Structure 1
């Protein structure tokens, strides 16, 4: 019998496009900060706090993580900055927690989410994976090294607008 592991695949919250520094250094805007706070509350309220975090090295992903206000070991990984789906899956295969949060970017996260699940959630925004979008995917396996495309079942999918409008 396989164990159960969960991946929380979160796109960073809304960033500030008026910022004129390099893309990697772009911060969150006010809406992004509110969204990240709401996502942190949602993780706590839904009992989905991770026991490990893998995070892109960009400023906006780091700020998103900081505002989630969670207590879990974090690994910042350069390969998650604008990562292709294969890089995200490779990072996941190196994870150790049973509930892992990965914070990164589109377009890679949109494609990663679509490729990981057997069937897409019915949520109307799953296909475009807006900022702050978070998929909770359930894997029946004992070790992340065995993760492959199409083996996860979606348990939840949320976008910050739903949390802020609630």
Structure 2
């Protein structure tokens, strides 16, 4: 079984005057959420083998807090994760089919729409992915990454 860990960034500060969305940092609450996500991942033995992370500051800070707890692994900032559609995310995941346990750190609505797309084959608006939320999806080893082939095995949020 292969696993996909989807992690939505934790709560971020609102954009300041003239501040780009990409530059928004985590709030103090967000940092606590990210640390809680890291503890949950570690306690449940969900340490990723590789991480694809949006270049947004809030996703990078979420990932840093998580990896401080779980331990460092191969990471790549992936521009395409920022504002990604489910189709874009599926392409990124499929490109890393060599990874046993892949984590994607990103944003809504892409992540919350990806879960039902991969598990049910629907492109509904999803059921929500709260800040700092984690979804664990599993795939059979030899199956192509496409709509309806995954199983949602765990869902957690701070």
Name the TM-score, length of structure 2 as normaliser: 0.89
Moved over 3 A (4+): none
In structure 1, distance between residues paired with 2:155 and 2:72: 22
C-alpha contact (below 8 Å) 1:5/1:142 kept by paired residues = no
In structure 2, distance between residues paired with 1:86 and 1:18: 28
Work out the number of aligned pairs and report it. 150
The residue correspondences of 1:122-133 to structure 2 (distance < 5 A) are 127-133=127-133
In structure 2, distance between residues paired with 1:101 and 1:58: 16
Residue 147 of structure 1 aligns to a residue whose secondary structure is: coil
The root-mean-square deviation of aligned C-alpha atoms, in Å, is: 1.7
User: Is 1:148 aligned to residue 149 of structure 2?
Assistant: no
Which residue of structure 1 aligns with residue 87 of structure 2? 86
Which residue of structure 2 aligns with residue 24 of structure 1? 22
Which residue of structure 2 aligns with residue 123 of structure 1? none
CA shift at 1:59, angstroms? 0.4
C-alpha contact (below 8 Å) 1:14/1:31 kept by paired residues = yes
User: Is 1:134 aligned to residue 130 of structure 2?
Assistant: no
CA shift at 1:129, angstroms? 1.1
In structure 2, distance between residues paired with 1:135 and 1:43: 11
C-alpha contact (below 8 Å) 1:119/1:154 kept by paired residues = no
- Structure 1: unaligned runs, 5 residues or longer: 121-125, 161-166
Residue 117 of structure 1 aligns to a residue whose secondary structure is: helix
In structure 2, distance between residues paired with 1:100 and 1:91: 10
Equivalent of 2:101 in 99, 102, 106:
99
In structure 1, distance between residues paired with 2:141 and 2:120: 15
C-alpha contact (below 8 Å) 2:50/2:103 kept by paired residues = yes
After superposition, the Cα gap between the structure-2 partners of 1:141 and 1:45, relative to the gap in structure 1 and judged at 3 Å, is same
User: Is 1:108 aligned to residue 106 of structure 2?
Assistant: no
